[in-house]
């Protein structure tokens, strides 16, 4: 059981690096979607007794992170007629190095944090930290709105991974609220992307500079 | 029961607005619901209900100390919105009216949330609900501001969720049962795992600080307030930021119970002073009078944060300042909205001599500016002087000195801008626009009313308000 979970976390970390190193938007969206599915099915391997509450979380997460959001993003990408990140603020090799360094640092940082005995040999925490860092690098370093949204989602994936540590203790309401909010957030961002595209004829956030001071 | 009505009445109003057929009569729903909300909150304030210790929701002393201010501000803005939306009759207002009511309901939920997760959900929902309000003007600049707001605000909200999870883990690691109500977390106190508590505090402060608009997480604020309609600016500056501030206060009481109160106070003081510094510098440079209000809001969030760092007297002053800042800033936003509409522009390069074109709004704008820069006898003066006194009482003389110096710079920055707009001769370009903007009672009375309340709060602070602030301080510092 533990090996499967650890494998999924390693997979998520690898996908982080793929998202950081790629200039093609479909690749980033794909990496994010696969990461979402990998995290979404994880509760099945953590909890020995499977119940409907857990099933609901798994289905909602996989559908949201793996299907609905990626297809929304692909639609936005087609509407804007772009599929490449041309001139990011932080280019691909430095972002990869930042991501790799961040992952190593995440493993190092975990030694200083006290964990419950049952979490001590899992990779949730380094995985979560690595994803949060990756999300930040994408949010700051990319200029295309879609890449920034992907960065935001990878950041959210990291937070979800951390939330798995608390899955037994947190009441249903909190979990449901988190999923709902995530979906709505991206939905709204999707609308905005669409509007920006109509207003600026591009998805380049560098053109959003009228308000500079 | 009444405390749940505070949430459901605005939500029902929002649903009604969504199906209301007429664009012309729909805005009247805002003052009607706003009035019902004010009646309910003030009733609850005078006759506070008992809240069960483990309740997830409740009109507890903290909600009682600040929610009536938000409610009152909303009512006055709702009164202003009727003539405003009539002026903007070319734009459909279905989404605007219903999301504004939704925001009121969610703000009531956020102020009353006594559960870490519920508080987060309410704050996140408010963030999303304000999006349609920000791009009501439908201009490319408004889109840009909305995009920045979503990206910065969304990241902030994500970090506050991470912080909430860390606090949850601190409780779990300390042997907690996973009960995330603030009462349970405070009861666990020193049992919470220290390293996790500190990480949670940093993340929650950055997260909710982003919503409050504390520097350096303030970058969305000038754009959002500059591009949004002035009622939206007023409600965000006085209501949405308040929910984030109460969130920080509630979290802080947990951190103090865990024994890290001193560290929390130090960070609050530092971030507050930094916010005041940043806003003072920006105010000396900006040429746009709507962005000026955003920088002024950053300054006042800094003051709240400093107050929160200065012990019981400081928190009391900060709660007072929530009222005085929200209501006075509301008057400034509404009168600035009038001036902006009459002039058709918002920078000092394009606008001057508004004392001639819109004498009443210009007068309120000037008086409001003096009030918000802490000139007596308006209430910001009294709340800020209490912050200074609390600083000296707690031996933070250097902080008090910096506080006063930043206030002085802010005063220079704001007077420079306000008098450039009000004084002088009207530009020829604005004269033609000006004729289409009569200063009717509908757009003058609301800001005037807010100034009146600000004066009243300063000179004759009602005993029931003082009691409510004292009760909130007692709850936050667990004084029996």
Chain B within 8 Å of A63 (Cβ-Cβ)?
A: no
Question: Which of A75-89, B320-334, B357-371 has the lowest average pLDDT?
Answer: A75-89
Nearest by Cα to B201 from B177, B221, B178, B185: B185
Which percentage of chain B shows pLDDT scores above 90? Answer: 58
How far is the CA of A182 from the CAs of A188, B149, B351, in angstroms? 10, 16, 43
DSSP calls for B259-289: T-HHHHHHHHHHHHHHHHHHHHHHHHH--BH
For the residues A115-126, what does the mean pLDDT come to? 82
Considering CB atoms only, which of B121, B178, B196 is closest to A169?
B178
User: Is the per-residue pLDDT at B436 higher than 80?
Assistant: no
* Residues B187-241 pLDDT 10s: 988 888 888 999 999 999 999 999 999 988 988 999 999 889 999 999 999 999 9
CA distance A188 to chain B (A): 8
Question: Which of A123-132, A134-143, B436-445 has the lowest average pLDDT?
Answer: B436-445
Quick check: A137 and A90 in contact, CB under 8 A?
yes
Name the residue ranges covered by the structural domains of chain A: 2-206
The whole-number pLDDT of residue B42 equals 93
Per the DSSP assignment, residues forming a β-bridge with A84 are A24
User: Is the per-residue pLDDT at A10 higher than 80?
Assistant: yes
Quick check: B246 and B111 in contact, CB under 8 A?
yes
- C-alpha atoms less than 13 angstroms from C-alpha of B114 in its C-beta half-sphere: 21
Kindly determine whether residue A166 and residue B168, on different chains, have CB atoms separated by under 8 Å.
Answer: yes
The DSSP call for residue B376 is T
| Confidence band of B428 (pLDDT split at 50, 70, 90) | low
The whole-number pLDDT of residue A40 equals 85
Chain B within 8 Å of A109 (Cβ-Cβ)?
A: no
Token pair recorded at residue A69: 């959001």
Question: For residues B441 and A184, which has the higher predicted lDDT (pLDDT)?
Answer: B441
pTM equals: 0.92
Residue with tokens 């500056």: B237
Query: CA-nearest residue of chain A to B192?
Result: A114
How far is the CA of A44 from the CAs of A49, A71, B7, B249, in angstroms? 9, 25, 37, 38
CA distance A31 to B380: 52
CA distance A54 to chain B (A): 17
Cis check for the bond before B377: say yes or no (omega within 30 of 0).
yes
* Residues B89-105 pLDDT 10s: 888 888 899 999 999 99
The whole-number pLDDT of residue B345 equals 82
Kindly determine whether residue A192 and residue B146, on different chains, have CB atoms separated by under 8 Å.
Answer: yes
CA distance A47 to chain B (A): 17
Interface of B with A in 98-157 (CB under 8 A): 117-118, 120-121, 124-125, 128, 131, 135, 140-141, 143-148, 150-151, 154-155
User: Is the per-residue pLDDT at A171 higher than 70?
Assistant: no
Residue with tokens 């988190």: A178
Quick check: B324 and B454 in contact, CB under 8 A?
yes
Nearest by Cα to B99 from B18, B173, B8: B18
Query: With contacts defined as CB-CB under 8 Å, which chain A residues touch B113?
Result: none
Question: For residues A191 and B364, which has the higher predicted lDDT (pLDDT)?
Answer: B364
Per the DSSP assignment, residues forming a β-bridge with A144 are A204
User: Is the per-residue pLDDT at A87 higher than 90?
Assistant: no
For the residues A81-104, what does the mean pLDDT come to? 83
Pick the residue of A118, A170, A182 with the most B CBs within 10 A to test the interface with B by mutation.
Answer: A170
Mean pLDDT of all residues belonging to chain A: 79
CA distance A174 to chain B (A): 6
Name the residue ranges covered by the structural domains of chain B: 2-476
Query: With contacts defined as CB-CB under 8 Å, which chain A residues touch B291?
Result: 213
For the residues A49-65, what does the mean pLDDT come to? 80
Query: CA-nearest residue of chain A to B288?
Result: A213
- Cα A138-A141-A146 angle, rounded to 5 deg: 55
Chain A within 8 Å of B175 (Cβ-Cβ)?
A: no
The whole-number pLDDT of residue B91 equals 83
Chain B within 8 Å of A205 (Cβ-Cβ)?
A: yes
Residue with tokens 């530009």: B427
* Residues B375-397 pLDDT 10s: 888 999 999 999 999 999 998 99
Kindly determine whether residue B118 and residue A173, on different chains, have CB atoms separated by under 8 Å.
Answer: yes
Kindly determine whether residue B147 and residue A115, on different chains, have CB atoms separated by under 8 Å.
Answer: no
Mean pLDDT of all residues belonging to chain B: 90
CA distance B143 to chain A (A): 7
The whole-number pLDDT of residue B295 equals 94
The whole-number pLDDT of residue B106 equals 95
Which percentage of chain B shows pLDDT scores above 70? Answer: 98
* Residues B36-69 pLDDT 10s: 999 999 999 998 888 888 888 889 999 999 999 9
Give the number of beta-carbon pairs within 8 Å between A and B: 112
For the residues A136-156, what does the mean pLDDT come to? 86
CA distance B256 to B265: 9
């Amino acid at each position: 059981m533990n090996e499967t979970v650890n494998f999924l976390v390693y997979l998520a970390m690898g996908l982080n690096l793929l998202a950081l190193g790629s200039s093609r938007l479909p690749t980033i969206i794909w990496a994010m979607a696969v990461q979402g599915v990998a995290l979404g099915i994880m509760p099945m391997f953590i909890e020995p007794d499977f119940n409907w509450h857990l099933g609901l979380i798994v289905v909602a997460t996989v559908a949201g992170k793996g299907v609905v959001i990626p297809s929304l993003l692909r639609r936005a990408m087609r509407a804007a007629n772009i599929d490449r990140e041309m001139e990011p603020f932080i280019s691909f090799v430095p972002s990869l190095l930042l991501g790799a360094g961040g992952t190593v640092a995440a493993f190092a940082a975990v030694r200083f944090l006290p964990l419950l005995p049952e979490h001590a040999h899992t990779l949730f925490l380094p995985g979560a930290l690595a994803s949060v860092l990756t999300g930040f690098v994408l949010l700051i370093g990319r200029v295309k709105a879609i890449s920034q949204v992907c960065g935001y989602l990878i950041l959210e994936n990291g937070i979800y991974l951390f939330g798995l540590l608390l899955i037994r203790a947190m009441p249903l309401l909190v979990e449901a609220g988190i999923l709902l909010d995530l979906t709505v957030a991206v939905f709204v961002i999707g609308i905005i992307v669409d509007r920006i595209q109509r207003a600026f004829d591009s998805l380049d956030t560098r053109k959003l500079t009228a308000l500079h001071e | 029961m009444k405390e749940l009505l505070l949430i459901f009445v605005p939500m029902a109003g929002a649903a009604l607005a969504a199906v209301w057929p007429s664009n012309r009569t729909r805005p009247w729903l805002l003052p009607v619901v706003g009035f019902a909300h004010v009646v309910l909150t003030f009733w609850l304030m005078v006759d506070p209900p008992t809240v069960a210790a483990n309740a997830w929701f409740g009109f507890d002393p903290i909600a009682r100390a600040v929610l009536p201010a938000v409610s009152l501000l909303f009512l006055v803005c709702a009164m202003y919105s009727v003539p405003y939306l009539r002026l903007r009759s070319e734009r459909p207002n279905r989404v605007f009216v219903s999301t504004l009511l939704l925001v009121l309901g969610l703000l009531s939920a956020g102020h009353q949330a006594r559960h870490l997760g519920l508080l987060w959900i309410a704050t996140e929902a408010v963030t999303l609900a304000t999006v349609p309000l920000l791009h009501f003007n439908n201009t490319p600049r408004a889109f840009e501001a909305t995009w920045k707001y979503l990206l910065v605000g969304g990241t902030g909200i994500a970090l506050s969720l991470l912080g909430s999870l860390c606090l949850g883990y601190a409780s779990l690691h300390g042997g907690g049962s996973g009960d995330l109500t603030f009462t349970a977390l405070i009861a666990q106190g020193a049992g919470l795992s220290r390293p996790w508590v500190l990480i949670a505090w940093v993340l929650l402060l950055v997260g909710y600080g982003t919503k409050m608009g504390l520097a350096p997480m303030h970058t969305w604020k000038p754009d959002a307030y500059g591009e949004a309609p002035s009622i939206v600016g007023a409600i965000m500056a006085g209501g949405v930021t308040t929910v984030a501030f109460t969130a920080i206060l509630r979290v802080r009481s947990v951190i103090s119970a865990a024994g890290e109160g001193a560290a929390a106070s130090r960070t609050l003081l530092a971030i507050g002073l930094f916010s005041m510094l940043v806003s003072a510098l920006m105010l000396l440079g900006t040429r746009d009078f709507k962005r000026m209000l955003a920088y002024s809001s950053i300054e006042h969030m800094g003051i709240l944060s400093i107050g929160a760092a200065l012990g019981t007297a400081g928190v009391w002053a900060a709660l007072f300042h929530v009222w005085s800042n929200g209501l006075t800033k509301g008057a400034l936003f509404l009168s600035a909205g009038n001036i902006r509409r009459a002039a058709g522009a918002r920078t000092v390069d394009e606008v001057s001599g508004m004392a001639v074109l819109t004498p009443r709004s210009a007068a309120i704008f000037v008086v409001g500016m003096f009030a918000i820069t802490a000139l007596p006898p308006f209430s910001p003066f009294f709340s800020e002087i209490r912050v200074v006194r609390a600083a000296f009482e707690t031996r933070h003389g250097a902080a008090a000195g910096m506080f006063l110096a930043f206030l002085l710079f802010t005063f220079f920055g704001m007077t420079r801008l306000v008098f450039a707009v009000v004084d002088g001769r009207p530009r020829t370009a604005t004269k033609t626009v000006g004729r289409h903007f009569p200063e009717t009672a509908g757009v003058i009375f609301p800001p005037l009313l807010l100034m009146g309340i600000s004066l009243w709060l300063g000179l004759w602070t009602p005993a029931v308000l003082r009691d409510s602030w004292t009760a909130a301080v007692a709850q936050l510092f667990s004084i029996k």
